[in-house]
Amino acid sequence: MSDYQAMQAELTGAIAAASDLDAVEALRVAALGKAGSITGLLKTLGGMSPEERQRVGPQIHALRESVTAALAARKAALEGAALEAKLANEKLDMTLPAAAAPRGSVHPVSQVMDELAEIFADMGFAVATGPEIEDDWHNFTALNIPETHPARAMHDTFYFPEVGEGAAQHMLLRTHTSPVQIRTMMEKAPPIRIIAPGRVYRSDSDATHTPMFHQVEGLVIDRGIHMGHLKWTLETFLKAYFETDDIVLRLRPSYFPFTEPSAEVDVGYRQEKGRRIVGGNGDDDGHAWMELLGSGMVNRRVIANCGLDPDVWQGFAFGVGVDRLAMLKYGMDDLRAFFDGDLRWLSHYGFGALSVPTLSGGISA
Ligand code: PHE
């Protein structure tokens, strides 16, 4: 074995045994670097006789080529092993749920509307809607509030400018959700059981009034409906909504043009640390009554206005402020904050986007 062959065996053996990329590099420098052993041999070629160079030259070049190839092979092997190890360690479990929490929150008004829909769905009520830009007839006349009726003045209505001579209808922003009663009775044959949540508008603004607020209307039309059905429905609804059986209602005779008889409904409450807690009999010690909603038996004239025979069909209706329901249950004290769009308020009072209210899972989950 020539010296070159011995050197080749020694170098390629060392390269094959190199345990990491740094060791491979050190061997490369030692053999092929500026002061490397093979580089030194190549330099000796210049001082050789032509015959000697012809004999030795190819051997030295062969040595350099085999060492270069051994270095490249070892480097590739070590890099491949490193990649394999990385792939084996860096596992991504695609079955894990997404970690990022949803941003934003559900506004208390939306949450309460969802709660109401859930509670009333359980009693067989569908959700109905109507336009916010309403005509005079649906908002007033059909509800037994004729042109000259003083109730019109009480509603602080936002009217649109009258368009053209003899325009069919004077348009306005609906002042209550009651026009949805009319639209529903005209579109669907009884029996009817609906709630109609939505925005309403009145020209009024202070700590407890905003020009836009929310109501939910309830309407039942069927045969043989009486005030007992109304009272049971309201009691069942309020118990589910406030999540307590300790709800006592007081029905006070009242007046609405579209119901006859009419009743204002009060609920008993007590004051706790400056907050109203709904529950208990308003006549008991430490308790009081709070006016909560308007209701009554649908006026015969309203039923007739919708083309139904009031001798066959009766019903009850009620209307309640959604914002007020939200304030009572979740403890806000200024209605105006509902519509300021302040992110701090929304993140404090808002609800998780994925926690949908259900009667079985908790209505305020
Ligand atoms: N529409 C009435 C209001 O806005 C409330 C109401 C609805 C009263 C249905 C009775 C029946 O004040």
**Is 283 inside any structural domain?**
yes
Cα 79 from chain centre:
49
318 lines ligand 1 (CB under 6 A): yes
43-98 pLDDT per residue, tens: 888 888 888 888 888 889 989 999 999 999 999 999 999 999 999 888 888 887 77
Q: How far apart are CA 318 and CA 262, in angstroms?
A: 9
Same domain, yes or no, for 141 and 271? yes
**Is 102 inside any structural domain?**
no
Spacing, Cα 116 to ligand 1 middle (Å): 17
pLDDT band at 170 (very low <50, low <70, confident <90, very high): confident
| Reduced DSSP (H G I as helix, E B as strand, rest coil) percent helix, strand, coil of the chain, to 5 | 45, 25, 35
Does the pLDDT at position 140 exceed 90?
Answer: yes
Does the pLDDT at position 165 exceed 70?
Answer: no
**pTM check: above 0.85:** no
Same domain, yes or no, for 81 and 155? no
Same domain, yes or no, for 210 and 307? yes
Same domain, yes or no, for 116 and 63? no
Same domain, yes or no, for 69 and 176? no
**Is 364 inside any structural domain?**
no
Query: Closest Cα to atom 5, ligand 1: which residue?
Result: 319
Mutate to test the pocket of ligand 1, among 140, 145, 178, 316 (most ligand atoms within 8 A of CB): 178
- The predicted structure's pLDDT at residue 163: 72
Query: Closest Cα to atom 6, ligand 1: which residue?
Result: 319
Same domain, yes or no, for 232 and 340? yes
Same domain, yes or no, for 55 and 129? no
Same domain, yes or no, for 125 and 84? no
Same domain, yes or no, for 301 and 159? yes
pLDDT band at 167 (very low <50, low <70, confident <90, very high): low
Same domain, yes or no, for 282 and 194? yes
Same domain, yes or no, for 155 and 295? yes
pLDDT, average across residues 180-205: 96
Could you list the residue range(s) of the whole structural domain that residue 84 is in? Answer: 3-89
Same domain, yes or no, for 294 and 329? yes
Percent of all residues in the chain with a pLDDT value above 90, rounded to a whole number: 68
183 lines ligand 1 (CB under 6 A): no
User: How far is CA 71 from each of CA 7, 14, 23, 264, rounded to the nearest angstrom?
Assistant: 15, 10, 10, 95
The CATH number that applies at residue 237 is: 3.30.930.10
The tally of domains found in the chain comes to: 2
Percent of all residues in the chain with a pLDDT value above 70, rounded to a whole number: 98
Cα 147-294-172 angle, rounded to 5 deg: 35
240 lines ligand 1 (CB under 6 A): no
**Is 297 inside any structural domain?**
yes
